[in-house]
């Protein structure tokens, strides 16, 4: 059906405005789809994956330039004004070794363990010379447990709820920074290659 041109000038203006709004929506949708298509999918490499915060569910943030991102294989775990620069342990071998054989874990550093899915996780301290605290986090990065682990202890320190992430830091760090169960950090991942 062919639409007749409007006789009323106001109707003509409304049609133009509607067409312009639709055009803007089409452009915005096209840009979104283009950016989504260019983003990495799945386990390849994450150029910048920011998530967490106060919202409960994970939320993506705009991509950061490489100069404003953590180094490759690291993440920033940000609890309000306190940030941990964490090595990422995402493969079974990396998770198995963890922070073993280290003489120290400097303040503000640690290791973020990333698991494929949320489940009850358990850690031990064999060959780990430094006492550590561990915060287990669910898929939305909400802290579900914080435990203190003794150096060289071969007992298991399990989470009480399913966790997909675990952050190890030096003993006492969470208490000193008033970080408790229920906290939800923002996590900025650096570039991950070949995982």
Identify the H or E element spanning 135. Answer: strand 132-137
What pLDDT does residue 64 have?
Answer: 65
pTM for the model stands at: 0.68
What pLDDT does residue 67 have?
Answer: 72
What is the C-alpha separation between 75 and 53, in angstroms, rounded? Answer: 15
What is the C-alpha separation between 52 and 75, in angstroms, rounded? Answer: 13
What is the C-alpha separation between 167 and 179, in angstroms, rounded? Answer: 12
Phi, psi dihedral angles at 83 (to 5 degrees) = -125, 135
Look at residues 126, 114, 129 and name the one whose alpha carbon lies nearest to residue 163: 114
Identify the H or E element spanning 157. Answer: strand 157-158
**Cα-based distances in Å from 138 to 28, 38, 115:** 33, 28, 10
What pLDDT does residue 62 have?
Answer: 53
What pLDDT does residue 68 have?
Answer: 83
pLDDT in 10s for each residue of the chain, 195 residues = 444 444 554 444 344 444 434 333 333 333 333 333 333 333 333 333 444 443 333 334 456 676 788 999 999 999 999 999 999 999 999 999 999 999 999 999 999 999 999 999 999 999 999 999 999 999 999 999 999 999 999 999 999 999 999 999 999 999 999 999 999 999 999 975 554
């Amino acid at each position: 059906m062919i639409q007749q041109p409007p006789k009323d000038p106001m109707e003509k203006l409304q049609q133009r405005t509607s067409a312009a709004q639709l055009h803007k929506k089409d452009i915005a949708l096209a840009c979104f789809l283009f950016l989504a298509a260019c983003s990495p999918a799945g386990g390849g490499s994450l150029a910048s994956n920011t998530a967490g915060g106060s919202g409960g569910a994970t939320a993506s943030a705009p991509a950061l330039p490489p100069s404003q991102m953590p180094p490759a294989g690291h993440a920033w775990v940000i609890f309000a004004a306190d940030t941990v620069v964490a090595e990422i342990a995402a493969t079974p071998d990396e998770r198995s070794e963890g922070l073993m054989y280290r003489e120290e874990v400097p303040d503000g550093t640690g290791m973020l363990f990333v698991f494929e899915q949320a489940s009850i996780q358990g850690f031990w301290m064999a060959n780990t010379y430094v006492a550590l605290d561990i915060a287990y986090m669910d898929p939305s990065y909400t802290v579900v447990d914080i435990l203190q682990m003794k150096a060289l202890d071969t007992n298991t320190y399990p989470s009480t709820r399913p966790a997909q992430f675990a952050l190890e830091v030096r003993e006492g760090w969470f208490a000193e920074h008033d970080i408790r169960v229920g906290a939800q950090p923002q996590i900025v991942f650096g570039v991950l290659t070949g995982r």
